[in-house]
Amino acid sequence: MSFSPLDRPAQFLKGVGPRRAEFLARMGIITARDLLYHVPRRYDDASTVQPIGHLDVGMDATIVGRVRTCGTIPTRSGLRIFQAVLQDDTGMITCSWPGQPWLERSLREGDVLLVTGPVKFFHGRQLQPREFTVLARGAEGEGQTADGGTIFVSYPASEDMPQWILRKLFDQNLAALLPQAEEDEYLTPLERAELSLPSLPDALGALHRPTSLTEAEEGRRRLAYDELFFLQLAQARVRWQQTLARPGIVHRRTNALIRPLLEGLPFALTDGQARVLREIVADMTLGRRMNRLLQGDVGSGKTVIALFAMLLAAEGGRQAALMAPTELLAEQHARRIRGWIAPLGVRIVLLTGGMGAAERRRGLAGLAAGDISLAVGTHALIQEGVEFHRLGLVVVDEQHRFGVRQRMVLGERDTNPDVLVMSATPIPRSLALALYGDLDLSLLDELPPGRQAVQTELRTPAQRGDVYRFVEQELELGRQAYVVFPLVDESAKVDLLSATQERDRLAREVFPHRRLGLVHGQLSSKEKERVMRDFLAGEIDLLVATTVIEVGIDVANATVMVVEHAERFGLSQLHQLRGRVGRGAAKSHCILIAEAGDVAQERLRVFRETTDGFAVARADLAIRGQGDLFGPLQSGRDPVLHHADLLRDEALLVEAQRRARAMVDMDPRLESPAQERVRGVLDHRYAERLRMFGVG
């Protein structure tokens, strides 16, 4: 991308200088462009600002007023309270900030403040601010009022660069910076009209100086689309390189293995399984490489779908490999697959780090010679020395437990194998499109018939005794149970029960005649595997654990999942824990023990009434927010998405992906003159992400 005036250092903007440039740099604002895209985080419409004289105790109010007096008041208990008397044309009110005497250094008489908070009675009316913004300093605020039609903006600020300085910098520079944003414009007027989006200069102007909240939202949608489009464009280029740039395998379906498997299964495929299988077969029998994500709820039947795909590869004389995150899960897959394919005469090998040397040598020799068609294992499958004769398909289970590069290593073979990624952690469709835009998406959104729903109950700590008595009843029937805690050990910072201490207490006081086990993330892999094997074998009655069991093996005899301090877990995490039970014929129970706070209880009630993992995940995303979703997929230190909301902007995301993929299909390397500006922005914003995927 050629040099632009927006690339010049922020230091040389009006009102900045070397010292303020240093403060701005700490906020990630290095250039003029960074300042222009540093948009407000909050808007307050003057029409919602209440006159101070009209405030009543009990109201939740937003006011604009000038500081008439301010100072810190000590109390008998030693607490220091900063107070400021604010005045507008209708009256005055005291604002109190308990425990924040440091505000005396940042607020002064004459400042104009925008304040939001509840109005309480304490020696008269007082407003206790949740948030406040300095709209203007001293004399600069003369004439600053809450006139109708005025929108007050609040920027992400810091102690060194407070609101009033940022507002002043924008007052001095915005008019000159906005026209320069035209250099970043990559959408044509026709495209903007089709998308109902403003131009970049208009969008940024609407964000910084909106005349209405609707105008500010139009500006946000434009920046949200840009984020989503360039994210999808980066992923579309990865998808092209992984699936289209290199020739794929045209798998030949003979039904020599697939039909006997279908006829021999003790169950019929669901409509969802049949649909997903058709999508996978269509991919594998085309000339392009498959790079597909199979996402399904706990127990939706992904493994059998993966097996059909593996047998399709085997029908054409190819090999298939399934990689799982733990030895125990790999063993479970291998055991289940062996049972299904026993009548078919297909050879399968299990490769894990814990297998014996002689057994490993035989397995490796069989794979290298092509005598073994299917391999199941852990990351041992991608270690040095593992050679396949004709690898045709790679299946990666529990994608989120592997790094992106790890799951790509198996696919980077000379034979260009197809790749099927599986995940049992339901996420909303919008989040799947954002996180896995380089993959085609298949959803298994129904459970096999006859699978019993887990009964979910909500209990308070006062009812803990009743819960454990119920657990004992289940154990007496010969069943097994889990008890999950949020912490491994006690912490002085939070008053929460921990797995280690509670395991000892439960063994001593509650279940002294039962066999208890303990598993958590601080144990070595071998120790975790040993405990889980003992539980699977029935040598442990009650397993005390942390969320390390969130993704684990099937223990059909386990019928009770107790989650302590359930209010500390996300809904999706709780859903995964609930999925550890209900895998056998007996009725199963998930019991959440949580504090009685209104917010936590309401959130958990939503979970109790919802068994659909995708609905749970959507509710979880709505409640907890998107946060840092992308982990190692981030570009640099900052989150990929600043402006886009994946739930609110799902339609924008779908359209962004459609357009990005169409652009890459027509011009994979974005080399045409028409895409020069698009390529420049992509390289500028997502260079690190592209390098991670090996895309030039």
What are the tens digits of pLDDT across the range 550-583?
666 788 899 999 999 988 888 888 888 898 898 8
Cβ 260 vs Cβ 311: under 8 Å: no
Model pLDDT, residue 627: 57
Q: What is the mean pLDDT of residues 48-70?
A: 91
Nearest residue to 540 via CA among 522, 525, 521, 519: 519
Q: What pLDDT is attached to residue 72?
A: 92
Q: What CA–CA distance (Å, rounded) separates 52 from 359?
A: 81
343 touches 317 (CB < 8 A): no
Query: Once rounded to an integer, what is the mean pLDDT over residues 251-264?
Result: 94
Q: What is the pLDDT of residue 53?
A: 92
| Beta-carbon-side half-sphere exposure of residue 532 (alpha carbons within 13 Å) | 27
Do the beta carbons of residue 172 and residue 155 sit within 8 Å?
Answer: no
pLDDT value at residue 632? 43
State the average pLDDT over residues 584-607.
82
CA torsion through residues 159, 163, 168, 172, sign:
positive
Architecture (CATH level 2) of domain 455-610:
3-Layer(aba) Sandwich (3.40)
Mean pLDDT, residues 300-318: 94
Residue 691, pLDDT above cutoff 70:
no
pLDDT for residue 447 = 73
φ, ψ of residue 87 in degrees (nearest 5): -135, 140
Tell me the three state secondary structure of residue 323. strand
Query: How many Cα atoms within 13 Å fall on the side-chain side of residue 94?
Result: 17
9 CB-contact burial (10 Å; exposed 0-12 / middle 13-18 / buried 19+): middle
Order of strands, edge to edge, in the sheet holding 480-484? 455-459, 589-593, 558-564, 480-484, 542-545, 516-519
**pLDDT given for residue 601 in this prediction:** 73
Angle between the N-to-C axes of helices 213-239 and 676-692, in degrees from 0 to 180, rounded to the nearest 10: 60
Q: What is the pLDDT of residue 398?
A: 67
| Termini Cα distance of the chain | 15
Residue 685 structure tokens: 């914003």
Q: Is 385 helix (H, G, I), strand (E, B) or coil?
A: coil
Distance CA 448, CA 198 (A): 47
pLDDT of the residue at 151: 83
Extract the tokens encoding 693: 């995927």
> In the chain, what is the greatest distance between 2 CA atoms, to the nearest angstrom?
89
Res 144 pLDDT > 80: no
Report whether 503 contacts 518 (CB < 8 A): yes
Q: How far apart are CA 400 and CA 516, in angstroms?
A: 30
> Tokens for 280?
């996978």
- The angle subtended at Cα 223 by Cα 218 and Cα 228, nearest 5°, is 120
Structure tokens at 200: 């970049």
Position 42 confidence tier, pLDDT thresholds 50, 70, 90: confident
Both structure tokens of 392:
């045709």
Say which amino acid occupies 216.
A
Structure tokens at 626: 């998107």
CA separation, residue 626 to residues 218, 437, 619 (Å): 21, 17, 11
**Averaged over 656-670, what is the pLDDT?**
93
Share of the chain above pLDDT 70, in %: 89
**Residue for token pair 């092509």:** 370
Per-residue CA distances from 498 to 469, 501, 513, 519 (Å): 20, 6, 21, 12
pLDDT over threshold 90, residue 386: no
pLDDT above 80 (res 236): yes
Among the ranges given (229-238, 472-481, 589-598), the one the predictor scored with the smallest mean pLDDT: 589-598
Length of the chain equals 696
Superfamily of domain 42-154: Nucleic acid-binding proteins (2.40.50.140)
Mean pLDDT of 364-371: 92
> 73-97 pLDDT, tens per residue?
888 888 889 999 999 999 999 999 9
Q: Both tokens of residue 400? A: 């989120």
> pLDDT of 163-190, one tens digit each?
888 988 999 999 999 999 998 899 999 9
- The predicted pLDDT at position 630 comes to 55
What is the structure's pLDDT at 267?
A: 87
Specify the higher pLDDT residue, 192 or 410. Answer: 192
Q: Residue 448 in contact with residue 299, Cβ under 8 Å?
A: yes
Domain span(s) for CATH 3.40.50.300 in the chain: 258-444, 455-610
> Does position 150 have pLDDT exceeding 80, yes or no?
no
* CB-count exposure of residue 574 (10 Å: 0-12, 13-18, 19+): buried
Most confident option among 552-561, 604-613, 654-663, 687-696 = 654-663
Given its phi and psi angles, is residue 123 left (phi above 0), alpha (psi -120 to 50 degrees) or beta? left
Question: Given pLDDT bands bounded at 50, 70 and 90, which one contains residue 309?
Answer: very high
Average pLDDT over residues 229-246: 84
* pLDDT tens per residue, range 508-551: 999 999 999 999 888 887 888 889 889 999 999 999 998 887 66
Q: How far apart are CA 185 and CA 223, in angstroms?
A: 11
The pLDDT confidence band at residue 16, using thresholds 50, 70 and 90, is: very high
Out of 1.20.272, 1.10.150, 1.20.120, 3.30.70, the CATH code matching 1-41+165-184 is: 1.10.150
pLDDT of residue 8: 93
Residue 221 and residue 204 in contact, taking contact as beta carbons nearer than 8 Å: no
CATH 2.40.50.140 residue ranges for the chain: 42-154
Give tens-digit pLDDT for 413-431.
567 899 999 887 777 777 8
| pTM for this model (two decimals) | 0.75
Per-residue pLDDT band for 637 (boundaries 50, 70, 90) equals very low
Contact (Cβ atoms closer than 8 angstroms) between residue 439 and residue 478: no
How far apart CA 370 and CA 188 sit, in angstroms, is: 54
Q: Identify the CATH number of the domain defined by range 258-444.
A: 3.40.50.300
Helix (H, G, I), strand (E, B) or coil at 63: strand
Measured CA to CA, the distance from residue 442 to residue 277 in angstroms comes to: 9
d(CA 36, CA 22): 17
Judged by DSSP in three states, 422 sits in: strand
Per the structure block, which two tokens stand in for 93?
A: 């009110």
Quick check: 633 pLDDT over 70?
no
Least confident of 35-49, 127-141, 290-304: 127-141
H-type alpha helices, 518-649? 525-536, 571-578, 598-608, 613-624
What pLDDT does residue 45 have? 79
- pLDDT of the residue at 209: 93
Both structure tokens of 677: 């500006």
Predicted pLDDT at 696: 53
Q: How far apart are CA 296 and CA 272, in angstroms?
A: 10
Cα–Cα distance, 161 to 259 (Å, whole number): 69
Both tokens of 426, joined, read 């339901």
Q: Compute the distance between CA of residue 185 and CA of residue 198 in angstroms, rounded to an integer.
A: 11
